[in-house]
Structures are given as C-alpha cells and as structure tokens.
Chain A
Amino acid sequence: MPQRSTRFTLAAGSAVALAALLGTAACSGASGGSGGGTAAGFNAAAASVVHPSTAKGGTLRFTAAQDFDSLDPQRGYYGFMWDFARYYTRQLITYDTKPGNASLKLVPDLATSLAQVTDGGRTYTYHLRSGATWEDGSPVTAQDVKYGIERTWAQDVITGGPIWLMQNLDNSQKYPGPYKDPAPDKLGLKSIDTPDDHTVVFHLAKPNGDFEQMLALPEGSPVKRSKDTGAKYGLRPFSDGPYKFLAYQPNKTLVLVRNDKWNKASDPIRPALPDRIEVVYGSNADDLDSKLLNGEADLDLNQTGLQQAARVKVLRDPRLKASTDDPTTGYIRYVSLVPAVKPLDNIHCRKAVIYATDHKALQTARGGPIAGGDIGTNMLPDGVKGADTKYDPYGLTSNGGAPDIARAKSELQQCGKPGGFSTTIAVRNNKSAEVASAVALQASLKAVGITTQIDQYDGAQTPNIIGVPNVVHKKGYGLIVMGWGPDFYTGQGFLQPLVDGRFILPNGNNNYSEINDPAINGEFDQAIATTDADKAGQLYSDINHRVMQDAYYLPIVYDKALVWRSDRLTNAYTATSYSGKYDFVSLGVEGAK
C-alpha cells in the first residue's frame, strides 16, 4: 500500500483530517467500483465532453443546499434555475449544448431557425417547429409563447425574474400583464404578433443586438394559459420539455420523471438520458459534499463549488481530484472605488488603492487559484465579446500579484495625501470569502498608510445598503467589495448595469462607483443598436478601457469554482452559457438498467 503511506505523511498534521481522508477514500473507491465509471481527470469536462454516451435510463441525483428561487420560468433568476429549467421548458432559441465557450452560440429550439431580422433590427420573426407538445399532448403554439412572455409584465404576481424582455418590448404601451388584460384572449401586448399558430413576430421600438440573448433566457418560455396558476405556477410548472414534475415541495423533495408526450423528433437540443431526476436537499453544505464524495449523489445543483473541508480532501488526493472540474463561472469579484467618498474623488488616491493592494492575498482570500480564480486584470472576463484578459493597465498580475508600494506612494503624493488617508470598506457579512478579501485589502492598504475600517453589513439587505447611493455617501463607503455575474455574455449584460450612468438607481443600484460618463453612455447606445457583434465587441472593449483608466474598479479574480463530477455521469461538460455549470440537460448516468 505505498499510496496509503504517502497520504499518511501528507496528513500527518492532523489526526482528524487523516481519519476523514481514509474514510472517504475507502467510500469513493467502493462507489467507483459499483458505478463502473472511471475518473476522467481534473478539469476534463471544462473543454470536452466526459463519457459521451447515448445510453438512457437511471436516476440522476442532485444535492442542493439552496432551493430554487422559483421554478416558474418567468420568475426564476438563480443561475442554476436557468440551467435546470431546460428540463421542463423550451425557448424559441437556446444555447448550444457544447462544452466551454462553444456553448455561448445561440441555436434554434422551438423555432425552426434563428430569427429573420428585418426593419433595421427592429423586427424578429420566428417560425415554430411542428411536433412540440405540452405534457397533455396539446401542441405548443405561437400564442403560448406570447402568453408566457406577457406574464413578465404582471410584476405584482410574477415577481423576481429578469425584465429584459419587458424593457425592450413594452414600447410605451404600459401593458398591465395578462391577468389584468381586458382582451378576451389575454394577448393584448402589441409588440408581439402571432399571425398564425406557428409564427411569432417581435417588434422592438429600438434595435437591440442582444435581443436573442434575452429570448434565450427562461423568461422567453411559453406558458399554456389554461394551465397558468399565477403566483403558484412555480410549484408545478406545466412541462413542454422531456421531463415533468412528479413531486415538488420546496426545500424537501423534487422529482422529475419522463414526459411521455414529449416528442424527441421536435427537439434538437435535449438528449433526455436519465429516466428520473431527483434533488437531495440539505442545509449543511459540508454534509452535502460528503454525499457527493461518497457517491450518494452525482452533482451539486447550486454548483457553487465544494466547501473548504471537501476541497482540501479532494485536492490532496489525486484520485478524488480527477473527479472534479474547475470552470470559470463568468463572475468577476471586484472592489468598487467610490469617487463620491473623499478623498477617492481624486483619481490618484484611487490609483494608490489599486497599486497598494496585494492581489495575491486577495486571490488567496477568495480561495486561491483553483477555488477562487485567476487574478483579474480588467472588468471584462473571458467569453464576453471584446474581452482581453491580457489588458492589465495596473500590472495586477505582475510579480505574482504583489503590491507595487513605490507607485502607490507616488500616487498618494500626487493625490496630496502623502501619509495616506482613511476610509471604510463595505462588505456583506454572509459571504466569508468577501469578508476575507476585505481583511486582506485592509492589511495591504495599511502598508502605505491607508487606514480602513471594515463595515460588515447585513448581506440580505445588500440592495438597500450599498444599492442606495445616499447610504453609501452617508456611511462613507469608499471601497465596496462585491461580485457580479452577467445575465448573458455580452458587454450589455455584463458591463452596462455596472458602469452606465443611466443605470444609477436610488435603490438596488449596481453602479456603486456612480460612473456617469457621457462618452461611456454613448458607446453603450451604439453597441446595443448594432447587430454586428464584432463592432459591439470593439465598443465594449473601449468602455472597459475607459473604466479601467479612470480607476473605478479593482478587479480581484475571474471567479472559478471547484465542482464535483460523479464518475457515473455521462455527457458531462461545463457550459460558459450557464456560468460554467455543468449543462444539466445533457447529463446521463452510467450503469443504468
């Protein structure tokens, strides 16, 4: 047993860890044998499909520490809900079922092809495939698509979901939503035409090059009017996908079974391999990790990454490590520098903060290169058109992320604060990695005389604290530690809420630095109006450069998550379109009878 003795020395530091380690190794060995799978290797599913297979059957088992915000296609906003929604909803167009960045490509789903765009980018026309059906066997019609989208307008009932389509399709009609619609067929929204049962035409007031990105969100799913239960729809959505709900009790049970009315021939996207899909709920994330490592479940529904305890176990054991992937999640972790709080109104003081920061320490605070991510260089992560992670104007990755004390001091001189200054770091109290980042930031700024105090505010109140510019000013939050993930992978989805001056809100604001630069705002208008993705990418790249040059943001990392992939899983790959999560809809299980 030479392997055992090496592990022994590694774990010599801790009897507890040792016992846990040996216990887990034994368990995972056993499950590997019964499942018949072999570990494909660390990060194998990030670039390619692991265990490609078309074998059907078996039960796919998810673990979940956190339940869905809502399973209602128009209300869900959690990333894992969007990924999961493809089991029971279909959209006109959706993301390609390919690994990595190839998943960002839009492909037709209910529609026969991508849109015919006419009228200078204002009209989008789709034709529906024949053969798509609801779980009662009735066909999915153009009216169902329109009705589903209309539900978003009923913001008093259909709460919590994205409102991209509403922003782009209301066209000043102030449509009240289908529940208050005086029209007998409840299809009173003027901007969507359904000339026949299988044609949908969208009329935009202004062109938006990302319109199809918005339609690909679950927000664009059809809902059958006779089956709409309003606010309760999320408890039992009516399926037009390959699976339907057998049972759902929030935070207790969720079982999907095959929808026998689903017509494979009508669906180019979904392989529908497992017979049954189950979610194992639990409140203790460490327990759920143990279930994954023991083979009692296949993957984490939330896809937030293994907890510290399991991470250490996995990374110390090459055999366990081979069953994990380390995708980038599309999130960027950053510190917002708030010019409204003195002396950060002076660009040199902002630059001093950026240069004085120990980027390696902040990366370690986030979880290191594997669980935290690569040190961020600018505000556009890889995958977004126009991104260039090599653009590193402050040399954040040079010298292994070490601070540049000399330049920080010279910037302080130019700012007129040679001895440093003091400010407040605001951080959510419920995100331990963000608190650790704040502590590391505080320690590194102290080296140049910038003294800070950390204010840990109630994370559940984020939109009402850092989301309110007045509160930020009053509390003197000069530095705000935060993270941001886009709804879709374009400069509009990613950067606009953070840096467009017209997105500064009195409440629920995301532009914490309150950047309001007419040049930036104008470039957004141009980029959104064009349907030429390359041109838009160039403009977004330009905006990114402006934001970085003015030192409004200190990027920490391009987020990564170390996620567990059971050896039973087939067709496993991580999809950038779903924030680096496994593409749930493609997964199958091996050893199925």
Chain B
Amino acid sequence: MSAPPHEPGATAPADITADLPAKAIEGRSPGRIAWLRLRRDKVALAGGAVVVLLILVAVFAPLIVSLLGHPPDQLHEDQIDPNLGTPIHPFGGISRRFLFGVEPVNGRDLFSRVVYGARVSLLVAFLAAVVAVLLGTLFGIVAGYFGGWVDALVSRVMDLLLAFPQLLFIIALVSVVPNSLWGFSGSGVRMAVLIVVIGFFGWPYVGRIVRGQTLALREREYVEAARSLGAGRGYILFRELLPNLIAPITVYTTLMIPTNILTEAALSFLGAGVKPPTPSWGQMLSAAVTVFQADPMFMIIPGLAIFVTVLAFNLFGDGVRDALDPKGTR
C-alpha cells in the first residue's frame, strides 16, 4: 500500500485541462501537470535554458576554451601596455582572438577565465545546495515528525546557525585551513571548505521549511493509516512524508543555488575563495576594483557573468515554484 504521492488537494485544476487538446483526457501525474504549467511560463523557460547552457559551458569548459580561447593561465604580455598595465586594444582588449578581452597586467584570456570560473561557481553552488538540502531535510523531517525535545533541540540549533555571522566565520576558517586536507590540495581544499561551510550554514533555511511541512503532514490521514497498519518510523518518514516534501525542497534548492553563487563570489572577492590561479568570478571582480577606471571591461565581464547566472537561476526557480505550487502568491 502506498499513500498518494501528493496532497489530494493538489490534483489538476479544471482550467489547465480545459486548455489542452480533448484527446488527452487520461489522468496526469502531478509532476506532469507541473511540467505543463512550467512549459507555459516563457520567462522561466528562458531562465532554464540559460541555466542548462551554463551547466554545459561548465562541463565542457576545456573543450570550449580549446576551440575559442587560450589556456586560462597563459600570459599574453603582448596584449598589455607595459607602462599602463591595461590592454592595448580598446574595450578591454576584446578581439576575435580574445572574445571577452584580456586581464590587465598579465594579459590572461578573460573568456577562458570566465568559462573556467563558471565551473567553480556552479560546482560550489550545486554541491553546497546538496549538502544543505540533505542536512536540512534530515533534521527538518525528524524535528517535525517527532516534536517534543527533539524538535526543540533542532529548532534552537537552527536559530543559532541562522544568527551566526557566517561570512566572518568562513573568512576566519579559511585562513587556518591547511594546504592539503581530506585528500585535496590547493584550490581543491578551498572549494571543499566552501562547499561544506556554505552548505552547513544553509541547511537551517531548508530545515525550517521541511519541519513546517512535516508538522502539517504528520496529522494527515494517510500517515495515520500507515501508522495504524504498523509501519515503522523510518518507513513513515522516508516513504510517506518525504515524497510529499519533494516539491518545496525542489523549489528551495533552485532558489538556494543563486544565493550560493553570490556567497561564493563574495567570499572570493574577500580573498577567502579558491586560490589563484584557479579562476573565479568573485576574484576577478576583486582584482578589477583597483583598475576599473582604466579598464572597466575587466569589472563588467565577470560582473555580467554573475548577474546573468543569478538572474537565470532566480527566474527558473520562481517558475518552478509557480508550477509546483499554484496556490502560492506570485
């Protein structure tokens, strides 16, 4: 026996089916309904397309760079005015050889660095979101279902973490992290630390939502039914409750990724991110501060990369939320 995978109230509203061709009268799963809603949201789809593109760019960075750019660490002194330290060519040195121009002082190819920077940003953001979701779901569902002292404890821990000055903590932590740790070295260590720490400080946000939802769901009839039939706690938590929490978790994950991208950029900007020469958008912005009057393109390009990525994820995330939760206010 199994409970309905979604709340009974969330069955397809009449207006959706009314628009569709008459031949498709068969029952639709909630996931399919959500997809149909999402498909009609052009803005979200555009955001989603950009997200997919960015992921492809990050995955195929070496290929893209070998076709359209130069190795990201290669210096191109010939592109730099040695006395000014700025690109010889106008607009930050943008040309057919250097699609996004070159970095001031050392003449590294900005296109390659932005493309490789996408890897760092997305990897840290995704994995940190995964860490946060895993921890948040686990603690949230446990706190919500068991209540009592377990709930009190978990809730207080979440309050504590939400009030914690995480940016300062990470900056302090990064300065004492050794050069090799957990089998990683150099930038790998920094990335691992960023993922763990950003994820760790992100889970209470997920935890609160999951706890709230669990509180509402645990009194539902299907849970009662499972319990009366002798289902174990683990079964109820992960087979009965969890499938019904997928929607809010998905929405929250897509909205958490852009926040993580911004956090990673902010930390890199402050020098607590990945180590040079590993390219990162925040680091580029930080380097651009001193030269932005002379070479504004060096600030504009990584700035745009962050802006476009965060906007795309936010638009897509909003669309996913609307699609999964039609009752939610826009």
- Where the two chains meet, the residues of A that have a C-beta atom closer than 8 Å to any C-beta of B are 12-14, 16-17, 20, 286, 307-309, 311-313, 315-316, 358, 360-361, 363-365, 367-371, 424, 429, 432, 435-436, 439-440, 442-444, 446, 453-456, 458, 475
Contacts and interface: CB of A to CB of B under 8 A. Distances in A.
Nearest to A451: B186
Contact of A13 (B92, B185, B276): B92
B275 interface: yes
Given A311-B84, A363-B82, A440-B106, A446 B293 contact: no
A358 B84 contact: no
Interface stretch (B70-78, B109-117, B164-172): B70-78
9 contacts: A286-B293, A308-B85, A309-B293, A312-B84, A312-B86, A364-B85, A440-B106, A453-B179, A455-B179
B200 to A, nearest CB: 25
A13 B91 contact: yes
B83 A16 contact: no
Given A14-B295, A17-B296, A453-B185, A316 B84 contact: yes
B82 A369 contact: yes
Contact of B175 (A361, A371, A458): A458
Given A367-B85, A370-B83, A309 B294 contact: yes
Given A364-B106, A444-B75, A312 B276 contact: no
B277 A454 contact: yes
B105 to A, nearest CB: 5
B102 interface: no
A475 B185 CA distance: 13
A366 to B, nearest CB: 9
A370 B179 CA distance: 36
Interface string B255-279: 0000000000000000100011100
B186 to A, nearest CB: 5
Contacts of A429: 271
Interface of B: 73-75, 77, 80-86, 89-92, 105-106, 175, 179, 185-186, 271, 275-277, 290-297
A454 B106 CA distance: 16
A475 B179 CA distance: 9
A178 to B, nearest CB: 42
Given A13-B91, A312-B86, A440-B75, A20 B106 contact: no
Contacts of A453: 179, 185-186, 275
B65 to A, nearest CB: 16
> Would you call the interface of chain B mostly helix, strand, loop, or mixed?
loop
B105 A365 contact: yes
5 A-B pairs closest in CB distance: A13-B90, A368-B82, A312-B294, A309-B293, A368-B83
Contacts of B82: 360, 363-364, 368-369
B293 A17 contact: yes
B11 to A, nearest CB: 56
Nearest to A438: B276
Contacts of B293: 16-17, 20, 286, 309, 312-313
A516 B276 CA distance: 34
A370 B84 CA distance: 9
Contacts of A369: 82-83
A348 B86 CA distance: 36
A322 to B, nearest CB: 16
Given A316-B84, A364-B85, A364-B105, A358 B91 contact: no
A365 B85 CA distance: 8
Contacts of A443: 73-75, 106, 277
Contacts of A424: 179
Contacts of A371: 83, 85
B84 A14 contact: no
A361 B296 contact: no
A368 B276 contact: no
A454 B275 CA distance: 8
A481 to B, nearest CB: 13
A61 B85 CA distance: 30
Contacts of B295: 13-14
A41 to B, nearest CB: 17
Contact of B75 (A286, A315, A358): A358
A106 B208 CA distance: 76
Nearest to B299: A16
A309 B293 CA distance: 6
A551 B277 CA distance: 26
A446 B74 CA distance: 9
